[in-house]
């Protein structure tokens, strides 16, 4: 009789747990653990004949016969638990960045947790984690040399680490480049912030920057003006190209969950020996030359460059350079390529490109099905470059042209995280771009 009751109680528990899986984004493994503890407590308070010891109940989780439901729950537990690499509970999306912080309805009370959620080559970028909060209250940008306190420009030039947030929704039209200082986080979560219709962001000769949750678009060339870069220095700036985010001789940079479109030059460019960069969870649309990684074929210092491009959505109205690479090592992993007109990934000057678990959807143009392009290089040269496609999903006739001998050491330097199956890409990138977050709710 006791065994029958235990079996009935356990099956009831498992069915309830599966049903609970539809409740928002609550993580399955935490729910399983909670319900098991509740059941153990109730059983221990019951009669001796119906009491089940803890080890017996936990062992039953792994039994696949006769109840198939037990096996399903066990699989769910294992899959969810395996995603706890960053030390926080999992929402079960499989996206390790989002699973690290988005499940917490009190995320706004612990914003700096985000700094511990980075992945890839830029995973050690701490931004302003070790500094105070700075609240931007003023969207104006009237004076690039003597910025007013409370403006974004005043915040980013400070010498101390800062975690920069925004008091309300705002559109910031910059008159000149926003030249950042080291150890800064720009955190747009909880509000709708646009940097648009003027100059945009420059990360030059500095380190440890996180940019998260911004809408960056319609950036224009500016310059031939004095611009302050720190409390103690300002100088003459020549004409800027009009990039959305320009990374120049910088390291430990993380660009995450931004929406970028329609700038005068690149949406994100990294050049001049920049390295240790992660570009993740961004939404790119309506642009020609999306991303340049590497200054020129002759600038060999870019051989140190290591960039991770993960969980991004490359969407409507894009033409080329997603990215266009030179010299360095590039891990392109679990991105969704839904639009290109010329090509998706290109390069010159012998870059190493490691494409894993991406989804490539070719355009209808029969002459643009190839996802790859070697720029202005003869085949007998580029055949030695190490470019590989591993586990990518090719749709609508898309194809990736590999090359090289596949040297293990080369790909090791172009590997920065474990790729998920390409069948997961839709889920991994479903929330790419700036998020709509509300205080007190899951983001």
Mean pLDDT value across residues 27-47: 41
Is residue 52 scored above 70 in pLDDT? Answer: no
**Average pLDDT of the segment spanning 230-237:** 98
Catalytic residue among 129, 321, 324, 359: 321
Q: Judge whether 172 and 141 are in contact, CB under 8 Å.
A: yes
pLDDT at 47 over 50: no
Given this model, what pLDDT does residue 341 score? 98
What was the pLDDT predicted at 34? 42
pLDDT category of residue 156 using cuts at 50, 70 and 90? very high
Mean pLDDT (the chain) is 85
CA distance 104 to 322: 32
Quick one: residue 289, left, alpha or beta (phi over 0 = left, psi -120 to 50 = alpha)? beta
Annotate the chain with three-state secondary structure.
CHHHHHHHHHHHHHHHHHHHCCCCCCCHHHHHHHHHHHHHHHHHCCCHHHCCCHHHHHHHCCCCCCCHHHHHHHHHHHHHHCCCCCCCCCCCCCCHHHHHHCCCCCHHHCHHHHHHCCCHHHCCCCCCCCCEEEEECECCCCCCCCCCCCEHHHHHCCCCCEEEEECCCEEECECCCEECCCCEEEECCCCCEEEECCECEEEECCEEEEEECCEEECCCCCCCEEEEEECCEEEEECCCCCCCEEEECCEEEEEECCEEECCCCCCEEEECCCEEEEEECCEEECEEECEEECCCCCCHHHHHCEEEEECCEECCCEEECCCEEECCEEEEECCEECCCCCCCEEEECCCEEEEECCEEECCCCCCCCECEEECCCCHHHHCCCCEEEECCEEECCCECCCECCCCHHHHHCCCCCCCCCHHHHHHHCCCCCCCCCCCCCCC
Q: Out of 18-22, 96-100, 255-259, 355-359, which region has the weakest mean confidence (pLDDT)?
A: 18-22
Q: Establish whether 321 is a catalytic residue.
A: yes
Does residue 404 carry a pLDDT above 70? yes
Q: How confident is the model at residue 75 (pLDDT cuts 50, 70, 90)?
A: very low
**What pLDDT is attached to residue 423?**
97
């Amino acid at each position: 009789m006791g065994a029958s009751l235990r079996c009935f109680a356990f099956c009831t528990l498992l069915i309830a747990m599966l049903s609970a899986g539809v409740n928002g984004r609550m993580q399955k493994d935490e729910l399983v653990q909670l319900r098991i503890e509740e059941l153990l407590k109730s059983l221990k308070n019951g009669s001796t004949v119906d009491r089940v010891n803890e080890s017996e109940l936990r062992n039953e989780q792994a039994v696949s016969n006769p109840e198939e439901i037990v096996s399903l729950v066990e699989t769910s537990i294992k899959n969810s638990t395996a995603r706890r690499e960053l030390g926080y509970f999992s929402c079960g999306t499989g996206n390790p960045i989002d699973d690290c912080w988005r499940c917490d309805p009190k995320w706004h009370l612990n914003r700096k947790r985000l700094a511990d959620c980075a992945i890839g080559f830029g995973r050690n970028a701490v931004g302003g984690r070790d500094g105070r909060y700075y609240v931007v209250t003023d969207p104006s940008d009237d004076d690039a040399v003597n910025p007013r306190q409370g403006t974004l420009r005043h915040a980013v030039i400070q010498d101390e680490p800062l975690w920069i947030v925004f008091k309300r929704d705002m559109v910031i039209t910059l008159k000149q480049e926003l030249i950042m200082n080291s150890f800064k986080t720009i955190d747009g979560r909880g509000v709708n912030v646009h940097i648009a219709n003027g100059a945009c962001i420059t990360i030059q000769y500095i380190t440890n920057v996180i940019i998260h949750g911004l809408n960056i678009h319609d950036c224009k060339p500016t310059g031939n003006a004095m611009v302050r870069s720190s409390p103690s220095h300002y100088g003459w700036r020549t004409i800027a190209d009009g990039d959305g985010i320009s990374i120049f001789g910088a390291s430990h940079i993380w660009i995450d969950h931004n929406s970028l479109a329609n700038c005068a030059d690149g949406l994100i460019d990294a050049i001049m020996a920049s390295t240790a960069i992660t570009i993740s969870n961004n939404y790119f649309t309506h642009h020609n030359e999306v991303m340049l990684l590497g200054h020129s074929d002759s600038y060999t210092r870019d051989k140190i460059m290591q960039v991770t491009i993960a969980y991004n959505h490359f969407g409507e109205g894009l033409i080329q350079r997603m990215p266009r690479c030179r010299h360095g090592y590039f891990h392109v992993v679990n991105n969704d390529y839904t639009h290109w007109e010329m090509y998706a990934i290109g390069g010159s000057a012998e870059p190493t490109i490691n494409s894993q678990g991406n989804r490539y959807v070719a355009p209808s143009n029969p002459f643009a099905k190839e996802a790859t392009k070697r720029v202005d290089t003869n085949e007998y040269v580029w055949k030695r470059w190490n470019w590989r496609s591993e586990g990518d999903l090719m749709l609508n006739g898309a194809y990736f042209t590999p090359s090289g001998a596949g040297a293990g050491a080369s790909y090791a330097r172009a590997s920065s995280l474990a790729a998920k199956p390409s069948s997961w890409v839709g889920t991994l990138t479903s929330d790419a771009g700036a998020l709509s977050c509300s205080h007190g709710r899951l983001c």
